[in-house]
Structure 1
């Protein structure tokens, strides 16, 4: 039978209990909650022929960016197709199966198009909007994220159960496309409708990062703990943002304390958790802080990911751990795998080829103190770095390393140009990193002139 879910969309479920669990899946995904897999597991036990549930399981696997889940995603696709073959399902459910199949075939952009086709018919489908948003985020398509959300905004009135979460998505897209004031307004308004919207809260934290407003960002996180304290591992990312804001205030010791007490409280190998950790440690090292043996734990996990090849964003963060802990053999193995993957075809291979190989070479050279080579490679990678996915704030660790490599290599004019590009991206707001590097640049030029 067909019922109507919390997104006001049809779904092929037979009981009210199953619908309650499906709504739990939706709200869990939107809020980054811990109970999403619990609801999905219970739902599939009760209704094993629910095709969209199988497709959701497969898509959620792919969003983890882990090679070992690919077989589970293929199994989910097979189960979804089997169910769809003998049970009448909705076009929305068919679209999710199509999106899963396309992504598994190495076509994430086409998968997005399949989801957008659903949204043309059901613009009030917040779940599909979040799926499009999530895949685009992994591809670094900030402009596409914004267009997608803005196409469905009018279909989400204030009486829509998921209105606040869509505002949170809109806030993030506005921030990533440089509309900082509008992003903050949308994010804070969204929290009024969805108090547990960790994504929307984190969008406002991004605004505070990009506009160098550390005090406001720290207060935001501390005063809205309900938004993130019940989250899954996304709460570590919120703590990561808080650590960055303390760094902005020059409180490096507090940032490192947050690393130990919160960001790596659970020693997971989720690529998102590894990226939080490695990028924070690298930022602290760039500021001259001794971080002890913390690289070792991260490198132990990263060595097991050398052959993953699912996301360049993840790979480069694994590499930070490998170089930080001086795991030369694993680092060389990743370099070899990048060369092999770059010769393949497909969207992931294209990203490995450019900017991946140049970025990898630059990071390796940086770790060895070959700063001129590091700078030239990181500079070559820089125009396409948004395509590795993530946010401006996340990719900024590579921007900082590029600038510092230029300064250390004596390429002052080029480093100055990148600093000014970075300043323009931040709408003219000078953060602590930029201020200290401009000082170093001016001092170095003065010495050179003498």
Structure 2
């Protein structure tokens, strides 16, 4: 039995395999692009490493792509076969169990397996990060925070991965509204792990939520080491920078970043498409003509109408389909949402509420039926966190809701939504809030103060 940099057991048989495994852990924690390369090297060196196969399966499930579910099933079968050959530690058995739970439609079961490991091995940063990531997909901000706070004491000054644990803590603090603590913890984490893009982006979230775009832009520009090594997560950092420039009124800069960075690679990864579609919607709501940019996104999104794995992803696909007006694909997506909502299970529950209402609202907004759009989107609001993502990412749906209300003339109800949004942002008003409140004042013929 060997121990990895998380001070946790692995049944690897060769020192080189352990070195590759440790490299995989560091790269995964930093959102580096070499994660699959290091994992592949481990499995080539030690093909009976069950936890490695479980990792391959879990990482595949995190991608939210229908075709990768088959890869995850194959990884689970290989892991179980390896388990029959070799006596595994409890940690490794529970990683395999976690994959089985997720494949059976229970991501919360996968989280429970991860938490059982952390109860025994609180130093296990890798497992803590996976629990954090699955909770993020489910929109479980409180769970992210409680999970990482249970293991922080075990990540002392001598722990090689302490900085990454602090990055997870910073993000969880931000998502639960403790913005000052999130900034301080995030900066402390970057000192220890200067390549931690997750921690850096947690601080960027703080500046977005508290309407301090100048500090956010400066942060990103002066900490390139934290994110220029990343996999496609670097596009998300560029997305954050574009939002911060928008908050400064620099819409042309945001559009330029879309072309040069956010869509530098025309991938169909749902996270990349969510960056792109939500940025284009924000720009259009500010009156920017985005031209034919929707077409490329819609071409990709219409191939994903049957995926049905992550509501967050599907709603962003729908933004692309409405942006380019693809009627057949919109109908296909609407029908599939209805089918999924009628099923039982953790993700079908999210398609039933808020998925169906949110999808209907987006379609109504695109068709100019603003009163119906506002009604549908308001009915979906209370459950929107459950689709996953962050407050900043889901804010695109808040903005559409607010603009639907304004265009429908529902000023009192829209003002209530705006005020809830401002409260969530520690009482800070960004450019969007200022301009929409001014619109309401003008509509009421009350002079702006």
- Report what 2:245 is aligned to: 246
Tell me which residue corresponds to 1:120.
119
User: Structure 1 residue 258 and structure 2 residue 219: aligned?
Assistant: no
- Measured on the aligned residues, the alpha-carbon RMSD in Å equals 0.6
Residue number in structure 2 paired with 1:131: 130
Q: Which 4+ residue blocks in structure 1 deviate beyond 4 angstroms?
A: none
1:348 aligns with 2:347: yes
**What CA distance in whole angstroms lies between the structure 2 residues aligned with 1:252 and 1:34?**
30
CA distance in 1, matches of 2:382, 2:427: 20
Which residue of structure 1 aligns with residue 403 of structure 2?
404
CA distance in 2, matches of 1:115, 1:427: 32
Gaps of 5+ in 2: none
| DSSP 3-state at the match of 2:2 | strand
| Correspondence 1:72 to 2:66 | no
Query: Partner of 1:51 in structure 2?
Result: 50
Q: Distance in 2 between matches of 1:335 and 1:430?
A: 35
Name the counterpart of 2:324. Answer: 325
Match of 1:234 in 2: 233
Structure 1 counterpart of 2:144: 145
Matches within 5 A, 1:43-442: 43-442=42-441
1:123 & 1:231 partners in 2: Cα distance? 27
TM-score for both structures, normalised by structure 1:
0.99
Mapped partners of 2:157, 2:233: distance in 1: 26
Q: Distance in 1 between matches of 2:44 and 2:85?
A: 18
Cα deviation, 1:226-281, whole Å, max 9, x if unaligned, reads 00000000000000000000000000000000000000000000000000000000
Q: Could you give the per-residue CA deviations for residues 45-81 of structure 1, whole angstroms, max 9, x where no partner exists?
A: 1110000000000000000000000111000000000
TM-score normalized by the length of structure 2: 0.99
What's the offset of the Cα at 1:86?
1.5
CA distance in structure 1 between the aligned counterparts of 2:47 and 2:352, rounded to whole angstroms: 41
Partner of 1:38: 37
Unpaired segments ≥5 residues, structure 1: none
Q: Deviations over 1:384-431 (max 9, x none)?
A: 000000000000000000000001001111000000000000011110
The secondary structure found in structure 2 opposite 1:446 is coil
Q: Distance in 2 between matches of 1:196 and 1:426?
A: 27
CA distance in 1 between partners of 2:14 and 2:113 (Å) = 28
Structure 1 residue matching 2:343: 3-state secondary structure: coil
SS at match of 2:287: coil
